[in-house]
Structure formats: C-alpha cells, structure tokens
Structure 1
C-alpha cells in the first residue's frame, strides 16, 4: 500500500515537473517571440522618430524641393503666356507712354571686376552703343552693389554675404535691381546684335499706368532664363522672389543644383509657378531660336556662353552647413521632441512587457 502511494506521489510530482517545464518552455518561446516583435517595433518607432526629426530640421529644404518638383511637373502643362513674335520687325515708333524705364543693368562681381575679360567689355559696349538714348546704363560691381543693398535692402545683406559663390550673389542682385529701378538686365556675355526699342514698345503697349509687365526668355527644359529680363519697377513677381531668397539660400549638395535653386533661374521659375495670380503680368519669349543657353546666336543677341563664374562652384563642397548652425534653437527643440517621443514609446513597450509577465505568473499559479 505504501509502495502504491509513493508511486502515485512520484507520478504526480513528475507530472507537475513536466507541467512546469511545459509552462517554462512555452513562456520562454513566447518571450523570444515577444522580444523579436518588440525589436521590430522599436526599430520602426526609432525610424519614425528620426524621420520626424529630419523633417523638422530640414523643413526648409523640403519646401524648396517641393517648389522645384512642382515647377518641373506643372510647367509643361500650365505656365504663363508664351509669345512668339518677329523681334526684328517690331514697330520702333515710340509708345505713347513708357511704362518700362529705359535703364540697362550689367553685373560683374568678384576678381573679374578688377580685370574684366575683353570679350565681356565688348559685349556690354555693343549694347550701350545700340541703346545710347536709354536713360541710364548701370555697371554693378562689389562696391556699388553693396552700397545699393545697404541703402535700399539692408535686411538682405547678411544673406547676400553668406552666398558661397559669386554667381549666387550676381543672380540675387539682379532681382533687386529690376525691382527697384526697372528696365532690362543683361548678362555680360550677351552681345547685342539689334536694338531692343521695338520690344520695349511692344511691352509698353500691353500695359497701363497701374499695371506691370515682366518678360524673360524660355529656358530648357522648363522655366525661364534670368540672363535677359525686362520688367517694370516693383513688379510683384520680383517682390516674391526677393522675399523668398533667404528661404532658398540652402545647400542642395550638388553645386549646380544649389546655384540654380538658391538664386538662379529655377528660383524665379519656382516663384512663377507658385504665384499663378501674377501670370497676367508675365510673358515668356518662346521659340528655340530665342534661347540663350550655351554659345549661340539669337535674333537679338550673340551669346558667348563663357560660364566663367561657374568655376567657383566647387567652393560649395568646402562648406556644407546644412543650416543647422543658423537654427540652434530649432535644433535643440527638435532633439528634445525626439527624446520625448522615444521615452513615450519605451514606456508603452514596458507596459506591454509587464502585462505579459503578470499574465504568465497567474497561469503558473
């Protein structure tokens, strides 16, 4: 009888041990599975937090790139009025009212202004000679450009001096000059072949005293070129451009992309697409024969296409600030937000883990 009782007790103990082992092994397996799932969840949450942090830190870049993509996608389907006109046979009869100031602007900054290439001086002189009756011919260098900005747009000087290349400074300056003085801007490497009086008269006839007009040449594949622009004073498009130059003053890693987006032709093209209410005052000179990219002849100009300023492009790679230094407050706030999000996610994870352990203990009891 004692033997049977001992045997029964032994079997019960063995069964209990097996049951305990089963629960232990089952708990271990579930813990491993939970650990794996928690690992995946943590990685996802960390990635999500990093994504939020990147968006906060580089929100300016995303805004600029959105404008860039929007311009490329929408321009082929919807853009300001493109005109095709016979530039050499326009009427030279003076308009009844000259709404566009007869002022010509050329810019030459940096070391080249001390000893300009002979071909550039020849190009500029050709335009001055053909338009000797213009009210004023401006030649902008580092000295008088700085004075002009100090006097009229002092708030922009910090951004202007922060540009890493001369071409960015020249690109930005032309918008301010046309906004303040009006008239025509021409790159130094544009040699004038014919008078522009007919084109000025044509544009004057399309506006009135309380209206504006802006003309630029179509660029490839989208947008306009900023090497040849005609505008009335205080044109709202130019106002939009100069208001956004500080926002677009960012490094986009690629030198050419940084130049054309920060202040170059894409900068003004983006603003054209983002401000469709201004399209009734914007004209784009269409036709492949009028494009001024590279070495080419157009009905009005001979484009030397020197591109010398772009030799400074490699300077951008020497300093990639990413705008973090200028955004210390934003950076600090972003880091704090990131830490809080991680903390909250880990609290949620720990609560789930604690609930699981309590559940397993109840089952074992």
Structure 2
C-alpha cells in the first residue's frame, strides 16, 4: 500500500510539474506574441514615418535645397569665404585708369506706391549720389513701368516669377541682379546718401581686372554674407548669372516674413550662391570693416545710411537682437553649431543602434 501511495504521490507531483511547465510555456508564448505584436506595430509605424518623411522631402525638395544652402552659408562663411579687403576709401587714387572695365552707370530702384510719391529724404539721397557722380555715363531710376519693360525685353522668362513675388521688396531685390548683369555699374539703395565720390573705388577695382576678367564688390553683412544694398560689378558677371538662374528655385515661402525676403531674393540669396560657387571667388571682393557696414542708421566713410527698414517685419527683431559680439566671434558661433549637430547625431544613433540598418533595409 505504501508503495502504491508513493507512486500516486509521484504521479501527482509529475502532473503538477507538467502543468506548471505547460503554464509557463503558455505564458511565455503569450508574452512572445505580445512582444512580436508590439515590435510589428513599431516597425509598421516606423515604416509609415519614413514613408511620410520621404514624401515630404519630395514635395518640399525645393525648400530643402534652399535651406541646406542657407545652413551651408552660415556654417562655412566664417572659415572660408571670398577675399575680404580693408582699404582707405577716402584716399584712393582718382587718377584716370587706362581701361574702365566697370561701366560708369548708377542704378536706383523704387517700386510700388512709394514710386509715385517718394520720401523727400530718399530723393535727396539719390540726388546726392548723382551730383557727386555727374561724370557717369548714365543714372538709371527704375520704377514699375520701365522695370517691367526691361524684363520683357531682356529676360522675358523671368516675368512670371517676378510678378509672383508677394512684396515689392522682393521684386526690387531680384531686379538689381538683372540690371547689374545686363548693364554693369553700381547699384545703390534709395536710402544711401553719398558723402564722398566713388571714382577712387572704381579705379581701384578696374586696376584689379583685365579685359577677359570680371570683378564684383559688395559690403560685408552681419553675421555672414554680403549686403545687396550697395554692389559694383562688371557686365555679365558669372556670379550674377548664377543668382538670376536660381531665383525661380528660391522663390518660396519660408514661413517667417524676414526669412522669406532675405532668402528668396535678398542678401542671403546672393550670399548662398557665393558660397556654392567657389570657382568664382577670384572675381569677388568683400569690403570688410565694421565702419563700412550699412545696416541700420549709420555713417560710413562714403555713405550716410538713412536706415529706412521699410521691409522689416516683426521676426526681423530676432536677428537684430543677436548680440553684436557674435559678429566678432563668427568662428566660435559656427563651431558651437557644428558641435551641437554632431552631438545630437551621435546621441540619437547611440540610442538607436539599428536605426541606419533599419533605414537601409526599408529602402532596399
């Protein structure tokens, strides 16, 4: 009897053990199923995210290209950019040069309602420049009518884009590149009052070129790039050709009014092209020196800048309120941005070790 009882106990124990094993196996299977479901859901969501990201990149590829150019300009300009010159503008030789490669032509632009009743201060500023340069070949005053006629005659392919600009500032920004490309000479904003003759500067530039070369000069801007409110150029300069060919690409809405204006046709538009076309740097000069910068109401050796700021929007205050000492620490500023981007990239990849593998697996 004892033997039979022991066998029964052993059988019961084995049955309980087997039941526990089955239950554990069942629980484990359920957990595995739940894990697989979670993994599959995550995989599906990740694939959907990548798919939507690719779609967005395709739909907004133009914006992406422009923003990449913008970021490239901000990051690389402090380390590598065209030749920056510091010269005594008031003591340059005015002795006539043998060859005048830069046409002595002066351009001013005023579009929209203001062209019908220009501010008296702007008219005084333009007249000051004309009177000091009465020896120039031509003084152009571009308004809505003759600007449109000029484009219709010489650059009809751009008329649709020009008419699509939301602001007259964008039209004026774009037009100045075409004018300098076609006529050459000097472009001046209406709020630049001339204090000194520019003959010496023209001669200085003429002496740096020959008949088969080009020259382009603009003033350094803050914190990177150039200002397009004062530019001197030979006719058909390849930089201006690159700019006008890319204006249609950059004619986009970048959400913020200030960003849209400066990137679509403003100073960042031409600054981006300068950074993207390094082969042209030997024909580009940047007038350096804080004393020569024409931002805001200020005096330079050759100009009094009235600082109208008629196009500045609310978001422009973000740029104006950047501490001015960054201007003297551009390299530190850019290094900080680069380090931050690298840190975020490494941190993200470190936490998602299979991220790149999954992307390639999904794409392939």
Same fold (TM over 0.5): yes
Normalised by the size of structure 1, how large is the TM-score? 0.80
Distance in 2 (CA, whole Å) between partners of 1:300 and 1:148 is 30
2:30 counterpart residue number:
28
Q: 1:89 aligns with which of 88, 91, 102?
A: 91
Q: Contact 1:165–1:313 at 8 Å: present in 2 too?
A: no
RMSD of Structure 2 on Structure 1 (CA)? 2.4
Q: Contact 2:111–2:143 at 8 Å: present in 1 too?
A: yes
Q: 2:288 aligns with which of 286, 290, 310?
A: 286
Give a deviation string over 1:82-120, Cα, whole Å, max 9, x none: 111111111111111111001000000011111100100
Q: Are the structure 2 counterparts of residues 27 and 129 from structure 1 closer, same or farther at C-alpha, using a change threshold of 3 Å?
A: same
Q: Determine whether 1:138 maps to 2:125.
A: no
Q: Figure out how many residues of one structure are paired with residues of the other and give that number.
A: 311
SS at match of 1:308: coil
Matches of residues 1-365 of structure 1 in structure 2 within 5 Å? Answer: 25-310=27-312
Q: Contact 1:248–1:263 at 8 Å: present in 2 too?
A: yes
Distance in 1 (CA, whole Å) between partners of 2:31 and 2:194 is 82
Choose 118-127 or 35-44, whichever is displaced more: 35-44
Give a deviation string over 1:235-282, Cα, whole Å, max 9, x none: 000000001111111111111111111111111111111111101101
Normalised by the size of structure 2, how large is the TM-score? 0.80
Q: Are the structure 2 counterparts of residues 312 and 146 from structure 1 closer, same or farther at C-alpha, using a change threshold of 3 Å?
A: farther
Larger radius of gyration: 1
1:335 counterpart residue number:
none
Distance in 2 (CA, whole Å) between partners of 1:15 and 1:90 is 102
Distance in 2 (CA, whole Å) between partners of 1:155 and 1:211 is 27
Distance in 1 (CA, whole Å) between partners of 2:22 and 2:208 is 93
Distance in 1 (CA, whole Å) between partners of 2:243 and 2:305 is 26
4+ long deviations beyond 6 Å: 10-22
Distance in 2 (CA, whole Å) between partners of 1:198 and 1:68 is 34
1:16 offset after TM fit, Å? 9.2
Q: Are the structure 2 counterparts of residues 87 and 13 from structure 1 closer, same or farther at C-alpha, using a change threshold of 3 Å?
A: closer
Segments of 5+ residues of structure 1 without an aligned counterpart are 1-6, 315-343, 346-365
SS at match of 2:204: helix
Q: Contact 2:257–2:313 at 8 Å: present in 1 too?
A: no
Distance in 2 (CA, whole Å) between partners of 1:131 and 1:25 is 92
Segments of 5+ residues of structure 2 without an aligned counterpart are 1-7, 317-360
